[in-house]
């Protein structure tokens, strides 16, 4: 299961996806594409499994499930490495 890190806030500024991560020592700002913003919004309120996120993204975009799952694994690994998402 994946959830949005408690240190992260998702915003849109002038149609650009912006993620702000605040820690005790600093703030980091990330600019993400629409797909990444949709992924983060899907886990913003409640943790979701990979399958749940795949179903959500497949419903939004013209992509097959296999490709979506493969791409999502890479994206979620990257977001996790940046501490934007947490595993629960």
Segment 35-68, tens digit of pLDDT: 998 999 899 999 999 999 999 999 999 999 999 9
Mean pLDDT estimate for the chain: 90
Read off the pLDDT band of 24 (50, 70, 90).
confident
User: Which residues, 6+ apart, have CB-to-CB distance to 30 below 8 Å?
Assistant: 18, 19, 20, 21, 82, 84
What share of the chain in percent tops pLDDT 70? 97
Could you list the residue range(s) of the whole structural domain that residue 19 is in? 2-87
Q: What is the CATH number of the domain that holds 7?
A: 1.10.10
Q: Give the global pTM.
A: 0.86
Looking at residue 56, its pLDDT comes to: 97
**Total number of domains in the chain:** 1
Read off the pLDDT band of 11 (50, 70, 90).
confident
């Amino acid at each position: 299961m994946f959830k949005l890190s408690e240190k992260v806030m998702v915003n849109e500024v002038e149609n650009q996806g912006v993620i702000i991560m605040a820690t005790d020592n600093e703030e980091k700002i990330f600019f993400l594409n629409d797909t990444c913003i949709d992924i983060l919004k899907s886990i913003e309120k409640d943790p979701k499994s990979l399958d749940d996120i795949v179903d959500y993204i497949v419903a939004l975009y013209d992509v097959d499930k296999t490709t979506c799952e493969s791409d999502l694994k890479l994206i979620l690994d990257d977001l996790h490495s940046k501490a934007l998402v947490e595993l629960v």
